[in-house]
Amino acid sequence: MKIIKLKNEKFGTPALYKMVSGYALYEHGKGFLAYSSDRDKHGVLTPYIPLGGKKALEAILSAGGFTSLTDMEYVLPIK
């Protein structure tokens, strides 16, 4: 996984999306890591972007990553 900076990236569908900015974890060939439970009331899922930003993600990776990927999935932005 690598840390990617998102700037005004759209997630969801062309008709209904959320625009996000910040640092997120990206897995090549899969997408951005997201918590399944973070879907909004319309079903739009956005990547996990912690309040601690890049430093928080660096700490997660340096500690060996998440202890469990339960309730997590990958999401791609709208092209």
pLDDT tens across 48-77, in order? 999 999 999 999 999 988 887 789 999 999
Beta pairing partners, 11: 18
Instruction: Quick: pLDDT tens for 35-45.
Output: 999 899 999 99
Q: Which residues pair with 18 in a beta bridge?
A: 11
* Type of residue found at 11: F
- When pLDDT is cut at 50, 70 and 90, the band that residue 29 belongs to is very high
- The single-letter DSSP state of residue 14 is S
Report yes or no: 56 and 50 within 8 Å, Cβ to Cβ: yes
Reduce the DSSP state of residue 38 to 3 states and report it.
Answer: helix
pLDDT at 72 (0 to 100): 93
Which DSSP helix (H) or strand (E) runs through 72? strand 72-75
